Protein backbone atom coordinates (compact mmCIF):
# COMPACT_ATOMS: atom_id res chain seq x y z
CA UNK A 1 0.00 0.00 0.00
CA UNK A 2 0.86 3.67 -0.03
CA UNK A 3 3.44 5.05 2.41
CA UNK A 4 3.83 8.77 3.01
CA UNK A 5 6.89 10.16 4.79
CA UNK A 6 6.81 13.73 6.11
CA UNK A 7 9.69 15.92 7.30
CA UNK A 8 10.46 17.65 9.54
CA UNK A 9 8.35 16.50 12.47
CA UNK A 10 8.78 19.88 14.17
CA UNK A 11 9.62 23.26 12.69
CA UNK A 12 10.13 26.54 14.50
CA UNK A 13 10.39 29.82 12.58
CA UNK A 14 10.32 33.52 13.31
CA UNK A 15 7.31 35.52 12.26
CA UNK A 16 7.77 36.71 8.70
CA UNK A 17 10.09 33.86 7.72
CA UNK A 18 9.18 31.10 5.29
CA UNK A 19 8.41 27.50 6.25
CA UNK A 20 8.82 24.44 4.06
CA UNK A 21 7.46 20.96 4.78
CA UNK A 22 8.36 18.02 2.56
CA UNK A 23 6.62 14.74 1.85
CA UNK A 24 7.48 11.68 -0.19
CA UNK A 25 5.11 8.95 -1.31
CA UNK A 26 5.62 5.44 -2.61
CA UNK A 27 2.62 4.53 -4.78
CA UNK A 28 2.87 5.76 -8.35
CA UNK A 29 -0.93 5.42 -8.61
CA UNK A 30 -1.36 8.38 -6.25
CA UNK A 31 -2.33 11.53 -8.08
CA UNK A 32 -4.11 13.64 -5.51
CA UNK A 33 -2.13 15.41 -2.75
CA UNK A 34 -3.93 17.52 -0.14
CA UNK A 35 -2.49 19.40 2.81
CA UNK A 36 -4.41 19.77 6.05
CA UNK A 37 -3.88 22.11 8.98
CA UNK A 38 -4.96 21.01 12.42
CA UNK A 39 -4.98 23.45 15.30
CA UNK A 40 -4.95 22.12 18.84
CA UNK A 41 -8.27 20.50 19.70
CA UNK A 42 -9.77 21.18 16.28
CA UNK A 43 -10.55 19.21 13.17
CA UNK A 44 -8.14 18.99 10.22
CA UNK A 45 -8.89 21.69 7.68
CA UNK A 46 -7.91 21.48 4.02
CA UNK A 47 -5.61 24.37 3.15
CA UNK A 48 -4.50 23.47 -0.35
CA UNK A 49 -4.39 20.47 -2.66
CA UNK A 50 -2.74 19.57 -5.93
CA UNK A 51 -3.45 17.04 -8.60
CA UNK A 52 -0.79 15.29 -10.63
CA UNK A 53 -1.50 17.17 -13.83
CA UNK A 54 0.09 20.34 -12.40
CA UNK A 55 3.48 20.94 -10.84
CA UNK A 56 2.67 23.91 -8.64
CA UNK A 57 -0.31 25.62 -7.09
CA UNK A 58 -0.46 28.82 -5.11
CA UNK A 59 -3.04 30.41 -2.84
CA UNK A 60 -1.92 33.70 -1.30
CA UNK A 61 0.90 32.85 1.15
CA UNK A 62 0.64 29.11 0.61
CA UNK A 63 2.06 27.11 -2.29
CA UNK A 64 2.48 23.44 -3.02
CA UNK A 65 4.91 21.89 -5.49
CA UNK A 66 4.79 18.37 -6.87
CA UNK A 67 7.52 16.29 -8.51
CA UNK A 68 5.87 13.10 -9.75
CA UNK A 69 9.09 11.64 -11.09
CA UNK A 70 10.76 11.86 -7.70
CA UNK A 71 7.50 11.15 -5.86
CA UNK A 72 7.72 14.12 -3.57
CA UNK A 73 5.66 17.21 -2.84
CA UNK A 74 6.20 20.20 -0.59
CA UNK A 75 4.24 22.88 1.22
CA UNK A 76 5.64 26.40 1.28
CA UNK A 77 4.29 29.07 3.61
CA UNK A 78 5.68 32.58 3.14
CA UNK A 79 5.51 35.53 5.53
CA UNK A 80 4.51 33.26 8.39
CA UNK A 81 2.25 34.60 11.13
CA UNK A 82 1.62 33.32 14.66
CA UNK A 83 -1.80 32.04 13.57
CA UNK A 84 -0.02 29.67 11.17
CA UNK A 85 1.13 27.70 14.23
CA UNK A 86 -0.49 24.26 13.99
CA UNK A 87 0.16 20.68 12.92
CA UNK A 88 0.30 20.25 9.16
CA UNK A 89 -0.42 16.92 7.46
CA UNK A 90 0.30 15.92 3.92
CA UNK A 91 -1.60 13.08 2.29
CA UNK A 92 -1.72 11.12 -0.95
CA UNK A 93 -4.41 9.17 -2.73
CA UNK A 94 -5.30 7.74 -6.08
CA UNK A 95 -7.91 9.85 -7.77
CA UNK A 96 -11.57 10.03 -6.81
CA UNK A 97 -14.18 7.38 -7.03
CA UNK A 98 -13.70 3.92 -5.60
CA UNK A 99 -9.91 4.18 -5.53
CA UNK A 100 -9.88 7.16 -3.18
CA UNK A 101 -8.00 6.36 0.01
CA UNK A 102 -6.01 9.07 1.78
CA UNK A 103 -2.75 8.02 3.37
CA UNK A 104 -1.38 10.68 5.71
CA UNK A 105 2.10 11.65 6.77
CA UNK A 106 2.80 11.77 10.50
CA UNK A 107 2.48 15.54 10.66
CA UNK A 108 4.70 18.58 11.22
CA UNK A 109 4.27 20.79 14.27
CA UNK A 110 4.91 24.32 13.04
CA UNK A 111 5.56 27.00 15.63
CA UNK A 112 5.76 30.63 14.51
CA UNK A 113 7.44 32.77 17.13
CA UNK A 114 6.35 36.44 17.30
Partner 1 sequence: KAGVTQTPRYLIKTRGQQVTLSCSPISGHRSVSWYQQTPGQGLQFLFEYFSETQRNKGNFPGRFSGRQFSNSRSEMNVSTLELGDSALYLCASRSGGAGETQYFGPGTRLLVL
> Which residues form the interface with partner 1 (CB under 8 A)?
1, 32, 34, 36, 42-46, 49, 89, 91, 93, 95-107
Least Cβ distance, residue 3 to partner 1 (angstroms): 12
Distance in Å, CB of 17 to partner 1, minimum? 26
**Min dist. Cβ of residue 18 to partner 1 (A):** 25
The residue among 25 and 89 lying less far from partner 1, judged by its C-beta, is 89
Nearer to partner 1 by Cβ, of 19 and 48: the residue is 48
Nearer to partner 1, 80 or 86 (CB): 86
Q: Are 92 and 9 in contact (CB under 8 A)?
A: no
What does the DSSP 8-state code read for residue 93?
B
CA separation for the pair 17, 37 (Å, rounded): 18
- Minimum distance between the CB of residue 106 and partner 1, rounded to whole angstroms? 4
3-state secondary structure 2-34: CCEEEECCEEEEECCCCEEEEEEECCCCCCEEE
Nearest of 6, 4, 9 to residue 111 by alpha carbon: 9
Amino acid sequence: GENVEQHPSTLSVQEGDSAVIKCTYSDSASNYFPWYKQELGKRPQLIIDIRSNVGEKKDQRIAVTLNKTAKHFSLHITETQPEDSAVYFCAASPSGGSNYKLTFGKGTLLTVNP
